[in-house]
Chains A and B, each alone.
Chain A
Amino acid sequence: MLDKLIMYMGFPFVRYALIVGVLIALCSSLLGVTLVLKRYSYIGDGLSHVAFGALSIATVLNLTNKMIIVLPLTIIFAILLLRKGQNTKIKGDAAIAMLSVGALAFGYMLMNLFPSSSNVAGDVCTTLFGSTSILTLTQLDVWICGILSVVVIAIFILFYNKIFAVTFDENFANAVGTNVNLYNLLIATVIAIIIVLAMNLVGSLLISALVIFPALSAMSVFKSFKKVTIFSAVSSMICALFGILISILVGTPVGSTIVTVDVLLFGVCYLIGRIRG
């Protein structure tokens, strides 16, 4: 087992996958607590489908770097969704459901109308559930992921206190002069970046799991915001590391393996929380 692992570590693409995977897991867990507590979990889910639609556009256009289209489109929709949540002509959740299935259908149709390879079903499956794509990262991909991750982490650390304030009590924050709309916008943008990043790792259907599970695990055990944040970040990285290693050794799909590890950890944390009362 160990020999096999050491052999795999000899390949640069495996090392890339591990670095990128762990970085993405770290980023996606950071805003999880905020998302869960602000009842924004479903926005993450809707956005991942938007990202799928955007990705199919990029695939059809045959772009070498798909981020150019996927990232801006996802950010725009993140901002629109957040706005929609505030003034509700169409109810927020209905708007998200519409957008999310709409984008999914549109993306699948595009990929069938303009197939970029002979194996359309395989392509679709890859974008939905992630796949070996994490093992086919180029050096450029690794750099882009690395830089975006650093940006996300820096934003989170710098604005930690404001994010806490806005998450805990929007009304109070507003009343004492904090620019709540600005920070909501910032949160939405960062979520969009995280989702686009995480799509490489687990595919668009499983992203929410990467965002929500570490937060929920941490919340059932820890009692201060700081501890919850730190634990969800660390546990998310460890789960991603184990998930990727297992998938390499056993040959299971990367994304679903990571999510399975996350789910198991949640089960353990939930039990611990229950026992402690």
Chain B
Amino acid sequence: MAVLTAKELAVGYENQSVLENINFEINAGDYFCIVGENGSGKTTLMKTILGLQAPMSGSISFGDGLENNEIGYLPQQSVVQRDFPASVYEIVLSGCQNSLGKGFFYSAEHKKLAMANIKRLGIEKLKNRCYRELSGGQQQRVLLARALCATKNALLLDEPVAGLDPQVTTEMYELIKQLNDDGLTIIMISHDIQNVKAYANKIYDVNTKEVRNVR
């Protein structure tokens, strides 16, 4: 059964649709890539998947135990974050905010989860370091650990290798593949088609509006 289904979906903003006739299904355990050039509507589609904006028409539905606020999201970095005084641990822990619910403070379990994800991504040594002092690749790992705190089963990655050098890019792809092998559903927005082909099992092209099975 599909965890995420888009049916005759049209996305856009201010009553202007930028992308129409979107149809796809994402199954549990998929490595699903959404590719297209800049300005092709990828970001708008992503925001719609995350529920940050409503679909113009058609539907997007979740199933198989996935709720729309249970997708771990790896956004592109914003200007604010570049000089943000926060430790790695504080940032990863903030990934637990959706399970905080109406509570005010993080429980021992939240803290355990944060530590587990810090270990999982191999950034234990950076735990008390300041986020703004880390390299681009390290920062991505921190944000990925935070995304893992927010989800049990699906990650949505927005251009996860943007601005990284080739070596770190490969490491990042391997890391994401590892997470996929561990059973996480991966949804990735990218324009790095070459690399994506090697890793994804399904590629959705926003220009042709077709899903290609790669593996």
Which positions in A face B, CB cutoff 8 Å? 33, 37-39, 158-162, 164-165, 167-169, 171-178, 218-219, 222-226, 228
Contacts and interface: CB of A to CB of B under 8 A. Distances in A.
A38 B73 contact: no
Contact of A226 (B90, B94, B97, B104): B90
Contacts of A164: 86, 90, 94
Given A168-B94, A169-B81, A173-B97, A161 B87 contact: no
Contacts of A176: 69-73, 95, 97-98, 150
What are the 3 A-B residue pairs with the smallest beta carbon separation, nearest first? A177-B69, A223-B130, A224-B87
Interface of B: 50-52, 68-73, 75, 78, 80-81, 83-87, 89-91, 94-95, 97-98, 100, 104-106, 128-130, 133, 146-147, 150, 156
Contact of B85 (A38, A175, A224): A224
A215 to B, nearest CB: 10
A174 B91 contact: no
A228 B68 CA distance: 34
A52 to B, nearest CB: 30
B78 A175 contact: no
A162 B97 contact: yes
Given A37-B80, A169-B94, A178-B97, 18 more contacts: A39-B80, A159-B104, A162-B97, A165-B97, A167-B80, A168-B91, A169-B81, A171-B52, A172-B73, A172-B75, A172-B95, A172-B147, A172-B150, A174-B50, A219-B85, A224-B85, A224-B130, A225-B90
Contacts of A160: 104
Contacts of A173: 97
B93 to A, nearest CB: 8
A210 B95 CA distance: 32
A222 B80 contact: no
A224 B90 contact: yes
